[in-house]
Amino acid sequence: MLWKKRTQSSAEDFKFDPETQYAVIRSSICTGEKVAGFKNKRDGHFTEVMVIRTAADEQRFKDLYGIDSVRTEY
């Protein structure tokens, strides 16, 4: 078999390190799609964690990682 089946990870699997990362919600100007994740402070690499569809999703993201505020990028 050439390709291995891709397994999907959950948001709980990701480890957040506040020393090297900060929370970000990326929002598309055109479609309004929002994705929550973490951005590396040194190199700016964004790691997507979950899709935000409602305010409850955003609150779940904050509660899951113990975050008070989240930056929004467009």
Q: In what order do the strands lie in the sheet with 34-40?
A: 46-52, 34-40, 21-27, 71-73
Tens digit of each residue's pLDDT (9 = 90 or more) over 2-15: 665 545 555 566 78
Domain range list for the chain? 18-73
Contacts of 16 (CB under 8 A, 6+ apart): 23, 38, 65, 67
Q: How many CB atoms lie within 10 A of CB 34?
A: 17
Q: Which of 32, 35, 33, 13 is nearest to 23 (CA)?
A: 35
Q: What is the pLDDT of residues 42-66, one digit of tens each?
A: 999 999 999 999 999 999 999 999 9
pLDDT at 10: 58
